[in-house]
Amino acid sequence: MVQKIALYILLTQFVQEVCSKLDRNDLNIRYKLGKEATCYENGRYIKDMKYMNRNLKKVVCIDWDPDALKYSEKNSIIIPKFEGDGRDRELVMMIPFLKELAKPEIQDVRVELDKYGHYKPHIKFYKMHPKYHKLLPPEVRFY
């Protein structure tokens, strides 16, 4: 049985523009959330997953700014900021790891994220599982 994943996009800018590029036919992204789904604190927008009314055992939030996730640290994956480089494949490289997190036997994604770390956890996961070694970027491969 294939498990469906609810994909939520929470951006403080350009929500519709980004989502239309990711999901051209508007079929896969269930919720497109903008600033209205964040907390505004000390001049910054903070993503607080508890306001999503979802089971946080099954929620992952990916961002480049750890401060934007300070209330959702256990559910966070931190990746390098996208700087416009067309060769940047960080999100694409993460897909197999996210598919693993979505498997029914994973009871709580927070436990898995704690195991692999919150900064680029897919790298540690791939290192620990030989079938994924080929996905490691050359600078972190080991033989």
Alpha carbon distance 10, 141 (integer Å): 32
Residue 2 has a pLDDT of 45
The answer on pLDDT for 66 being more than 60 is: yes
Instruction: Encode pLDDT of 14-58 as tens digits.
Output: 667 777 776 777 766 677 777 777 888 999 888 888 877 888 898
pTM above 0.85, yes or no: no
Alpha carbon distance 17, 15 (integer Å): 6
